[in-house]
Amino acid sequence: MSSGPTIVQTQVVNFVLPIVATFVTSFRLYCRARRHLLWIDDAWAACAMIFDIVLMICSALYLRGYVLHPQWEKVALYYTLTQCFYGVIWCSRLSILFTVVRLAYWPQRRILVRIAIIFGVVWAVLFAQVWWTCESNPSWKKLPRPQCPLGRNVAIAQIVTDVLGDTVLILAPFLIIYKATLTTAHRVRVICLFSTSAITTVVSLTHAYYVLTVGELKEAVSAMFEASISLIVANLSVVVTFFLRMLADDEPISRPIESTVNFESEPRDEEEL
């Protein structure tokens, strides 16, 4: 009985999940572009998609073609896919956060933008942590398939930042929901859409477990799952709203999700929500 995924199984996951995430993101961008509603949250989603595509390509080269590359290229591939993983995760979170920002009134926007800056700082710290952890013990670079033992500190940092980050994304919509003139059913829909961030928390905890214990291909597969699921979740509020609009006769749920705001605009009337 296999103790973990094979190279072939890992490659299947590596291609299938990013392709699905790319399709969902492209559909999200199409929905926004056709209504002339592209904004900062869509830019972050596009960045996350690009990181996910690069992650897919680097993972494919790392897993299947590593025997054809000199050792320094294998190490470079490992570093690239590790940092692209963080790129997908945090660009996806910033996309969700700015989706909330575009719905908020000015005082709430200031709070949310500050949270976005904190997200950026956390991303930079996690980015740097990989370098100082791996460079402090470079013996892994001599392995046939180089993989840095990230260890306890990286796993703890991922758990803490993932749980806190996703908790913020789940709670952030409550800053705007209480001022919106929506029915109870519509409030529940909006909250449920943004609460899907909890899905990424579960996946990220699994990935952190493998970083802390097993490593190897199980860690790689869990990272692929976390990256693509995070990107898919970041698009759900737009994609689900698109289908709700097709099914519903009215648009009270679609307006807050699709409304366009900017940082200079005055707070809107409640009726606009």
Q: To the nearest whole percent, how much of the chain has pLDDT over 90? A: 40
Rounded CA-CA distance 223/227 in Å is: 6
The phi-psi region of residue 16 (left if phi > 0; otherwise alpha if psi is between -120 and 50; otherwise beta) is alpha
Number of other CB atoms surrounding residue 49 within 10 Å:
26
Number of other CB atoms surrounding residue 124 within 10 Å:
12
Q: Alpha carbon 52 to chain centroid distance?
A: 9
From residue 200, how far is each of 15, 113, 172, 258 by CA, in Å?
19, 22, 16, 23
Rounded CA-CA distance 131/140 in Å is: 13
Q: Which residues contact 11 (CB under 8 A, 6 or more apart)?
A: 60, 63, 64
Q: Are 64 and 15 in contact (CB under 8 A)?
A: no
pLDDT at 211: 80
Report residue 13 as tokens: 């996951």
Q: Are 101 and 116 in contact (CB under 8 A)?
A: yes
Low-confidence ranges of the chain (pLDDT < 70): 1-3, 65-68, 178-190, 193, 214-215, 248-273
Rounded CA-CA distance 205/88 in Å is: 16
Task: Label residue 178 exposed, middle or buried (CB < 10 Å: 0-12, 13-18, 19+).
Answer: exposed
Burial 19-34 (b: 16+ CB within 10 A, else e): eebbebbeebbebbee
Rounded CA-CA distance 110/30 in Å is: 29
Q: Are 130 and 148 in contact (CB under 8 A)?
A: yes
pLDDT at 265: 34
pLDDT at 7: 83
pLDDT at 69: 72
DSSP 8-state code for residue 273: -
